[in-house]
Amino acid sequence: MGLEEKLPAGFLLSTVEGLAGYMRKASIWPATFGLACCAIEMMAVGTPDYDIARFGMERFSATPRQADLMIVAGRVSQKMAPVVRQVYDQMPNPKWVISMGVCASSGGMFNNYAIVQGVDHIIPVDIYLPGCPPRPQMLLNAIIELHHQIETSPLGVNREEAARAAETAALSATPTHQMKGLLA
Amino acid sequence: MADDTVGKDVTPAGPKGSEVGAPRAQRSGSDDREKGFLSELFAPVAGFGVSFGTMFRKVATEEYPEKPRPTAPRFHGRHQLNRHPDGLEKCVGCELCAWACPADAILVEGADNDDTPGGAGRFSPGERYGRVYQINYLRCIFCGLCIEACPTRALTMTNFYELADNDRGKLIFTKDQLLAPLQTGMLTPPFPMADGLEERDYYQGKVSGPTDAQKAYVHDRDAAASDGDGLDDDGSTAPSITGAAGRPGNAAAAVPGAHDLVHSSNPSAPQTREGANP
């Protein structure tokens, strides 16, 4: 709606936050976005054996314009990267991304020139899901984790504050290339 | 020939088509006699019988978060660093697992065990131990080559699979998360090997638990540590000797393994996050 984004901070917004989070988490439509072998497991989650509809995901949307969740299932090649970004841009807000499998999360065992080393180079990722490929229960677990995240996500003024705090923390953190000495 | 086949196809279809199109009353009388009043009444909703009957069938869906089905016993799940029966670590820091890993997911840094008094201490039987042990679960493909490469069976895999997280950093598991929790009777390293035994005796199964000398050493060590911290608490060190109800060893070192027990008893989403947190 957009109205909830304009509320001033305080009691009203926190109530709306809770309600909106509760509503949003229970009706997420995933976009069909299978790129490789992980997509087979993603399809298996749609079968009656695991039944993704129990989590309010009645169908996999064939168009990104009617999808809220992008499950990047499989390795993202350099050639596919602009397509991933475009599909993500076509999804309406609010939208979430699950990076399914190690290839999508970090390149996995394909540490080479052809594969994007983690889909978070292209789009913001909410949940990382390890596994090669993850079994259907692992994807369901990732979806439940995402539900927790959506339920507690801030809105409007609070979200802007949270984003600003996250940016400040990221800027003040030590960059990886400046970390010296022995690990741990 | 072609004309014949066409004619054969058309002739039987003709009467059938007219019968379907015709109203009910004009059909042959034999159909009317077979169908009773009730079957006529329920004919339009007869198809729902299948749906209704399905309600009483057993549900095929796995109700995952509440009632997950067990995995196959040899399912490749999260790794575990095992211990000897007295509590010493089996990992000798040889880095063979890291060399075998096809995805470069494992990082090991070995260090020397130190038996001299006041030194760094002994964590594993033998010369060296794994000082740093990290597995990046965003690279690990759960192939099990590290388990095959491990010469001491220090690294094995559990059936635990709920690893999803919202942070990349939390998915790099460190040694305290990977180490097996201390079983009843085990002591917290560092402490010296059992008297009169050498490294190979550990692998030949000659050690079944901590000796009295080892218990005394750990007791003295914990007492010294608690004195140094200014915590004058007798109860904190007593369980390491008795080992009956309380977790052996000092409490701080026992915490990292605690989440493993929680996972195995109740594998649900909230505990998963605790597992990833240090």
**pLDDT greater than 70 at residue A136:** yes
Structure tokens belonging to residue B239? 């369980």
Pick from A84, A72, A94, A83: nearest CA to A153: A94
Q: What's the rounded Cα separation, in Å, for the pair A174 and A122?
A: 22
Output A128 or B16, whichever has higher pLDDT.
A128
**B243 in the Ramachandran plot: left (φ > 0), alpha (ψ -120 to 50) or beta?**
left
Query: For residue A24, how many other CB atoms are within 10 A of its CB?
Result: 17
- B62, A106: Cβ pair inside 8 Å? no
Any B CB within 8 A of A117 CB? no
Q: What's the rounded Cα separation, in Å, for the pair A146 and A149?
A: 5
**pLDDT greater than 60 at residue B162:** yes
State the smallest CA–CA distance between residue B251 and chain A in angstroms: 21
Average pLDDT over residues A84-91: 93
Interface mutation vs chain A, best among B95, B131, B163, B173, most A CBs within 10 Å: B163
What does R_g of chain B's alpha carbons equal in angstroms? Answer: 34
- A144, B143: Cβ pair inside 8 Å? no
As for the ipTM of the complex, it is 0.85
State the smallest CA–CA distance between residue B132 and chain A in angstroms: 6
Pick from A141, A131, A64: nearest CA to A104: A131
Interface mutation vs chain B, best among A128, A146, A151, A153, most B CBs within 10 Å: A128
Q: What's the rounded Cα separation, in Å, for the pair A49 and A109?
A: 30
**Total H helices, total E strands in chain A:** 6, 4
Q: Are A104 and A74 in contact (CB under 8 A)?
A: yes
- B68, A137: Cβ pair inside 8 Å? yes
Any B CB within 8 A of A151 CB? no
Q: Residue B260: its pLDDT value, please?
A: 39
Q: What's the rounded Cα separation, in Å, for the pair A163 and A98?
A: 19
Q: Residue B15: its pLDDT value, please?
A: 44
Average pLDDT over residues B217-233: 75
pLDDT above 70: percentage of residues in chain A: 95
Any B CB within 8 A of A129 CB? yes
A6-32 pLDDT, tens digit each: 777 777 777 888 888 888 888 899 998
- A109, B138: Cβ pair inside 8 Å? no
- B142, A51: Cβ pair inside 8 Å? no
Q: What is the pTM of this model?
A: 0.74
Q: What's the rounded Cα separation, in Å, for the pair A134 and A73?
A: 10
Any B CB within 8 A of A51 CB? yes
Q: Please give the CATH architecture assigned to the domain spanning B79-276.
A: 2-Layer Sandwich (3.30)
Query: pLDDT-derived band of residue B231, with 50, 70 and 90 as boundaries?
Result: very low
B71-129 pLDDT, tens digit each: 999 999 999 999 999 999 999 999 999 999 999 999 999 999 988 887 888 999 989 99
User: For residue B155, what is the enclosing H or E element?
Assistant: strand B155-157
**What does the mean pLDDT of chain A come to?**
87
Pick from A108, A122, A15, A139: nearest CA to B65: A139
Query: pLDDT-derived band of residue B21, with 50, 70 and 90 as boundaries?
Result: very low
Q: Where are the beta strands (DSSP E) in chain A?
A: 30-31, 69-73, 96-100, 127-129
**pLDDT greater than 50 at residue B270:** no
State the smallest CA–CA distance between residue A93 and chain B in angstroms: 19
Q: What's the rounded Cα separation, in Å, for the pair A140 and A152?
A: 19
Q: Residue B12: its pLDDT value, please?
A: 44
Q: Are B179 and B83 in contact (CB under 8 A)?
A: yes
Chain A residues lying within 8 Å of B140, measured CB to CB:
102, 130, 132
**pLDDT greater than 50 at residue B49:** yes
Pick from B179, B174, B188, B180: nearest CA to B277: B174
Chain A residues lying within 8 Å of B270, measured CB to CB:
148
Query: pLDDT-derived band of residue B137, with 50, 70 and 90 as boundaries?
Result: very high
User: For residue B272, what is the enclosing H or E element?
Assistant: helix B269-276
State the smallest CA–CA distance between residue A52 and chain B in angstroms: 10
